[in-house]
Chains A and B, each alone.
Chain A
Amino acid sequence: MRDERVNWFSKLVTVLAYTFILAPMIIIVIISFNSGEAIQFPPSGVSLRWYEYIVTGPTNFLKGLGNSLKVAAIATVFDIFIGVFASLSVTKYNFKGRGLLVSFFTSPMFIPSISFAFVLLRTTAAIKMMTPFSKILVGHLIIILPYIIRNTMSILVNYNWTVEDAAASLGANPAQVFFKITLPLIKPGIISGAMLSFLYSFDEAVISSFLTSAKFLTLPVQIINYLEFTFDPTVAAISTILMAASLVIMILINKFVGLDSMIN
């Protein structure tokens, strides 16, 4: 473990790997403050004009932001409900076919999202009642469901179920057990899972691209469209803001459950 040779080599590769991972994101942040017109590195000057342009420019990014937030919020809340209950059903009880049920719950993970996006496009084309918003919402809630289930299951696996028996023996009926014991104990994990899933939905671009319409765009799709015509640092500015928000969420998750839990 303390060997110099192995450490030297792995240290070097680690530096390379993380430069590789972080460089594009750092560069985006830097050029977002560029005062010039084009993408330039190093930037010609520092200004906040591109941040202003997000709001003042022709594309209504704020609307896209609002749409993305709406979809993410509803999808997350809905999935938390069905996901927590589903996770309880497979962790609290032992039965034949439990593994199959778990695979079933996480099945969307194994299907390429582009295939699902296409299928959704075709099947909902016939349903006149569905607005693009609802179509995208349905797509998102299926896509993020496996993450919520996996996250909840990993919390419940470490949960000491005997405390529920203890509560029952002390007079708590099943509902009281759930609200006074189970929920408080799993809440931090559920919340951080919810934050992560919210982000996944927010960042999601495949389903959104396929099911979008001119009247309902999510922010990632707006960015893609914008990039087809213009290549100014506005996108860099938006990206920087989004990355900053992600950083905040990461800090929150760390406070709730600690980042180590994400390694597994």
Chain B
Amino acid sequence: MKEKRNVLLLALPCTLTLLIAFIIPMVYTFIKALINDNLTYYTKFFTDPFYMKIFGNTIKLSLKTTLLTLVLGYPSAYFIARTKSKIKSILIIATIFPFLVSAVIRAYGWMVILGDSGILNQFLLNAGIIDSPIKIMYTETAVMIGMAQLVLPYMILSITGVIQNIDPNVENAAKSLGANPVQTFFKVTFPLSAPGVISGCILVFTMGMTSYITPQLLGGAQYLTMSTLVYSQIKTTYNLEFANAICYILVFAILIFQIVANNISNSVNKRLGSGKNA
């Protein structure tokens, strides 16, 4: 009734904007390319081992980054969530601050550190540990380090939120029933924090797959990911149709991943009994 009309009115400007500036261009470009080139460029991508290797590398990179941030992030999140000391607020500030700093600046920081004449090499050379500079820039390692630093705060926040919501009495109950701290952690705390871990991993993996600035500055033309491959196809090879195909391959890959990952995440949440809001 009147309510429906209100909803429509309120949602209209946003809907129009999204349709005109986002949905329609995305759909139009996809279909136009299909009509013009059929699946030529998609086939080109999937049949050429060079490009498939890049796809594989991007996935590998994202997985490694996810793992690294999980290893570094979970204990940090646990600490922040549980600590009662004043340092908690400082850590929260330190976690949120990077969100406000451009990816360009953060990648630049690593360029300064990891470059051939960068700080790390300067230090190692001066200390006599090595004779000639280690090549880290423009390799997978450099991109992974830069990526991990970029996404670590997301992982930490995701997990901290969930752990904070775990009722401490649940852990106390386990202890009263005879579980030592390690057992309490693995049987109670960790399973209950799973939703945060999963959503953090989904987020981080997605960012790894789609990130552009970090691989561009730290991987350059020597270590390509899907996003920098698109860029090189536009600026170097001038093959816009191919770049188009790669873009949409990335879009669909991420969409499929999101759907699958969310289904897994939902079934995990169901098994946990949706007791605590996650």
The A contact surface, by secondary structure, is helix
For A1-35 the 0/1 string (1 means CB < 8 A from B) is 10101110111111011101111110110010000
- A89-B11, A104-B18, A224-B104 are known contacts. Are A259 and B171 too (CB-CB below 8 A)? no
Contacts of B197 in A (CB 8 A): none
B209 interfacial by beta-carbon distance below 8 Å: yes
Instruction: Say whether B14 contacts A145, CB under 8 Å.
Output: yes
Residue A112 contacts which of B10, B25, B71, B227 (CB distance < 8 angstroms)? B227
Which residue of chain B has its CB nearest to the CB of A174?
B6
Complex interface: stretch among B37-45, B48-56, B240-248, B266-274? B240-248
Instruction: Say whether A1 contacts B250, CB under 8 Å.
Output: no
Instruction: Say whether B117 contacts A38, CB under 8 Å.
Output: yes
**What is the size category of the interface that chain B forms with chain A?**
35 or more
Instruction: Say whether A203 contacts B119, CB under 8 Å.
Output: no
Cα–Cα distance between A27 and B120 once the two chains are bound (Å)? 11
A185 interfacial by beta-carbon distance below 8 Å: no
Contacts of B191 in A (CB 8 A): none
A168 interfacial by beta-carbon distance below 8 Å: no
Contacts of B178 in A (CB 8 A): none
Contacts of B59 in A (CB 8 A): none
Instruction: Say whether B212 contacts A113, CB under 8 Å.
Output: yes
- A7-B79, A17-B152, A263-B164 are known contacts. Are A114 and B100 too (CB-CB below 8 A)? no
For A78-100 the 0/1 string (1 means CB < 8 A from B) is 00011101101110110100000
Contacts of B71 in A (CB 8 A): 13
Instruction: Say whether B227 contacts A89, CB under 8 Å.
Output: no
- Residues of A within 8 Å of B, CB-based: how many? 89
A52 → chain B, closest Cβ, in Å? Answer: 20
Cα–Cα distance between A220 and B213 once the two chains are bound (Å)? 10
Please, could you name 17 A-B residue pairs with CB atoms under 8 Å apart, sorted by A?
Answer: A3-B181, A13-B72, A25-B98, A25-B101, A86-B13, A110-B258, A114-B230, A122-B29, A123-B28, A203-B101, A203-B102, A203-B103, A204-B102, A224-B217, A231-B111, A259-B93, A263-B92
Residues of A within 8 A of B (CB): 1, 3, 5-7, 9-14, 16-18, 20-25, 27-28, 31, 38-41, 81-83, 85-86, 88-90, 92-93, 95, 101, 104-105, 107-108, 110-116, 118-123, 138, 141-142, 145, 149, 196, 199, 202-206, 209-210, 220, 223-224, 227, 231, 235-236, 239, 242-243, 246-247, 249-250, 259-260, 262-264
Would you list the 5 A-B pairs with minimal beta carbon distance, nearest first?
A24-B109, A203-B102, A112-B210, A86-B14, A89-B10
